[in-house]
Amino acid sequence: MTIDWSAFTPWSALIGGLLIGLSASLLLILNGRIAGISGIVGGLLQRPDNDSSWRLAFLGGLVAAPILWLLVAGAPEIRIDAGYPMLILAGLIVGFCTRLGAGCTSGHGVCGLSRLSPRSLVATLCFMAAGFVTVYLVRHGLGG
């Protein structure tokens, strides 16, 4: 392991994290809801309708953020190296599995760990480990 000091952005990471934590906390305090993105999206696909207005509003705010950013600070850096077949495969897996496991990085990783939930701790350890192994295999294992 070598730390890439040129890529490491400790302060912006910490400040961005604080804002994410503040958003998740306020959603619970003000609206009584957990800010798990996969759960918010997944609820829109459930029938009967599972109060979709707050879900759509939250997701609308999420989409509006880069638009606002674009106007004030210019285009954010977003580099997506994966090709289309890989994006489709990854999207299908992420969609199905976040619903199966009842959460993703936000619901389990941020909200669940903040609530000291044992289920979320196990889930977070599992998806982190699987993410590390997957990237290792893709970049270094399979002829990488």
Partner 1 sequence: MPTLVSFLLGLLFGLGLLISGMINPAKVLGFLDIAGQWDPSLALVMVGAIGVGTVLFRLFGQRQSSVLGEPMRVPTRQDIDRPLILGAVGFGVGWGLAGFCPGPAIAALGAGEGKAFVFVAAMLLGMWGFERWQARA
- The residues in 17-46 that bind partner 1, with binding defined as CB under 8 A, are 17-35, 37-38, 41-42, 45-46
**Cβ of residue 143: shortest distance to partner 1, in angstroms?**
15
| 50 lies in the binding site for partner 1 (CB under 8 A) | no
**Cβ of residue 5: shortest distance to partner 1, in angstroms?**
9
Size of the site for partner 1 (CB under 8 A): 114
Judge whether 40 and 55 are in contact, CB under 8 Å.
yes
Q: Among 48, 95, 142, 143, which residue interacts with partner 1 (rule: CB under 8 A)?
A: 95
Site for partner 1 in 63-82 (CB under 8 A): 63-70, 75-82
Q: Which residues contact 113 (CB under 8 A, 6 or more apart)?
A: 120, 121, 124
| 140 lies in the binding site for partner 1 (CB under 8 A) | yes
Judge whether 76 and 66 are in contact, CB under 8 Å.
yes
Judge whether 125 and 140 are in contact, CB under 8 Å.
no
